[in-house]
Structure 1
Amino acid sequence: MDIDVFVTRHQGDWDRLARLVGARSLRGAEADELVALYQRVATHLSVARSTVPDPALLARLTALVLRARAAVTGAHTPAWREAGRFFARRLPAELRRAAPWWTATAALCLSAIGLVAAWVANDPAVQASIAAPEAVRELTRPGGDFETYYSSAPAASFAFQVWTNNAWIAAGCLVLGVLFGVPVLLLLWTNVVNVGVGAGLMAAAGRFDVFLGLITPHGLLELTAVFVAAGAGLRLGWTVVDPGPRTRSAALAAEGRAVARLAVGLTCVLLVSGVVEAFVTPSGLPTWARVAIGVAAEVAFLAYVFALGRRPEAPQAPAPTASGRP
């Protein structure tokens, strides 16, 4: 094949494709032309590779075809931008959508914790049934087991231990909700009893203020994360019972995607609460300072949910097609 004849015959197509690839925007007809020229020039490149021993021409056509392919298929959104969109819009919107479930769960559980705590604090027989008097005294005395628990391991190790434990609880609430929500209720009841018994025993010993000073810094955010997971799990369980206007499989698929998004977000929330529990709760800071840090973390989370979650998520544009239409 004569290289000069080949180049002269197709030079117009190559120049036109280069102009279209470099254009900032294309009308519908130009986008169609871009695709047609991309396919044609790709054919030219294939022919040239097999018949034209000219490295410069092959390099030129290869670069042009690669640029045209990128213009036709569209560039992928960078991973960092997807992560930013998830945490700035999708996650808070999902948390806000689930808010009726987890706020109701929180109200019921906190009420139950108060009732259990009052029952334990005001009934010596209940206290005796929980543990031997010596064990109760060891737990509640100044410098006792309740206080030293938070400094029982190096802070970093303790933070990781707390984080993984709470993450398992949250994951159990999220995943096991599909079993009509029954396992979620059992997990919630276990947590209600544990917190209520601890509060009741400390109150009976006249040290309820110490209990609040140790629980509040990390407990506000930690319990909120558990309530969110439980509320989402119960919503998933209710979807099994009543999928609404959707088919049960479609409803479960949609709720399953929502649960996956919440799982990612709650992992981060529980990491924060674990760090607070390991480094702030047992620290030498005054009680008011430790409590203030816990309240600030909780307020920041609620603002994140109810301020950012109110913003409508920007619609994600579909990948452009060759015709320039979605």
Structure 2
Amino acid sequence: MDLDAYVVAHAHEWARLEELVRAGRRTGPESDELVDRYQQVATHLSVIRTAAPDGEVVAYLSSLLNRARMAMLGARVLSWRAAGRFFTHQFPAALYRLRYWWLGCMAANIVVSAVLMWWFVDHPEVEQTLLSKQEVDDLVNNDFESYYSEHAASAFATRVWINNAWVAALCMALGITGVGVVWLLFQNVLNVAVVGSIMTRHDRADLFWGLILPHGLLELTAVFVAGGVGLKLFWSWIEPGGISRGNSLAIAGRTMVTVALGLVAVLFVSGIIEAFVTPSPLPTWARIAIGILAEIAFFAYVFVLGRQAVRAGHTGDISADLLEDRVATQD
């Protein structure tokens, strides 16, 4: 193929895509043209890569397509329909496809937490190495309960939401290391086990579970989801499963972004429960019931809506039209 002739023949089409990308506002027909031109230029890039790879031209077209994708993505983000499809198709599909990873993570953490709590209760001398007698008294008699009510509910909800989102983000970000996410989850479980054992040994188990369960069920589930997805990212380059390690890691990484965005909403709900339900004057059984209902709703979301989304062909990866097109060509 004569590359110079090919460039001359299609330069006006590339220039038109440049104009559409730079346009601050686009009409409906211009938005449609942006998509059409994007697909057209993606085909040109694929042809050049196959028949006459030239570093400068490939770099230019790749950059142009990247900017075009961002322009299309910006329009999609503002679409309520796209947001709706994210929560009805993309996010639940990702959760369902990765269910064994985060369910396994959840089961392992529950077992470890139970064993640690039992061991701490059976070995009270350990408590003395972690906290002073005064700190234990403060925790049991005041600090644990007051933590949930000492700040205004709205401010507390925001603080909790940000903190939990940060923990979940760390679980996924450290997932590539494998060890990092395991260590972070262990620290989280250890903290719960230590506080739970102290409250139990001082006959305040009813207060501990009454304050932890309403929000903790959904909150910890979200953290376990983040941990499981992080570990899946680690495994994607250990065992790529018949594709290149780069592609395997890219797919797992994009799906992880989907889960991260969805967990923001899940943790927002758990933060609302922690701020407004956990410290409320409702009976303990009612507060725990709300937490259980929230957890049941999450599992129904995954195993009903998620299963349907997967059967419809959704994977949790970003839409194919937002990935770089690679069109098969013939010489």
Q: Which amino acid aligns with 1:152?
A: E
Cross-structure match for 1:176: 174
Cross-structure match for 1:166: 164
CA pair 68-219 structure 1, distance change in 2 beyond 3 A: closer
Secondary structure at the aligned position of 1:178 is classed as: helix
Q: Which amino acid aligns with 1:126?
A: V
Aligned residues: 252
Cross-structure match for 2:312: 313
Percent of aligned pairs sharing the same letter: 47
1:271 aligns to 2:272 (yes or no): no
Cross-structure match for 1:25: none
CA pair 81-130 structure 1, distance change in 2 beyond 3 A: same
Cross-structure match for 2:89: 89
CA pair 203-97 structure 1, distance change in 2 beyond 3 A: same
Structure 2, unaligned runs of 5 or more? 1-26, 37-74, 323-331
Secondary structure at the aligned position of 1:246 is classed as: coil
Task: Give the whole-Å Cα distance in 2 for the aligned partners of 1:150 and 1:67.
Answer: 50
Task: Give the whole-Å Cα distance in 2 for the aligned partners of 1:135 and 1:116.
Answer: 20
Per the TM alignment, residue 260 of structure 1 is displaced from its structure 2 partner at its CA by 0.4
Cross-structure match for 1:284: 281
Q: Which digits, 9 at most, give the CA deviation of each residue in 1:5-33, with x for residues without a partner?
A: xxxxxxxxxxxxxxxxxxxxxxxxxxxxx
CA pair 204-313 structure 1, distance change in 2 beyond 3 A: same
Task: Give the whole-Å Cα distance in 2 for the aligned partners of 1:200 and 1:275.
Answer: 26
CA pair 128-91 structure 1, distance change in 2 beyond 3 A: same
Task: Give the whole-Å Cα distance in 2 for the aligned partners of 1:68 and 1:292.
Answer: 52
Cross-structure match for 2:240: 243
Task: Give the whole-Å Cα distance in 1 for the aligned partners of 2:254 and 2:145.
Answer: 40
Structure 1, unaligned runs of 5 or more? 1-65, 320-326
1:138 aligns to 2:138 (yes or no): yes
After alignment, is 119-128 or 226-235 more displaced? 119-128
Per the TM alignment, residue 73 of structure 1 is displaced from its structure 2 partner at its CA by 7.3
TM-score, with structure 1 as normaliser: 0.72
Greater C-alpha Rg: 1
Per the TM alignment, residue 313 of structure 1 is displaced from its structure 2 partner at its CA by 3.2
Query: How does 1:1-326 map onto structure 2 within 5 Å?
Result: 79-141=79-141, 144-179=142-177, 181-311=178-308, 312-313=311-312
Per the TM alignment, residue 199 of structure 1 is displaced from its structure 2 partner at its CA by 0.8
Task: Give the whole-Å Cα distance in 2 for the aligned partners of 1:241 and 1:189.
Answer: 22
TM-score, with structure 2 as normaliser: 0.71
Task: Give the whole-Å Cα distance in 1 for the aligned partners of 2:275 and 2:115.
Answer: 28
After alignment, is 233-242 or 212-221 more displaced? 233-242
CA pair 119-69 structure 1, distance change in 2 beyond 3 A: closer
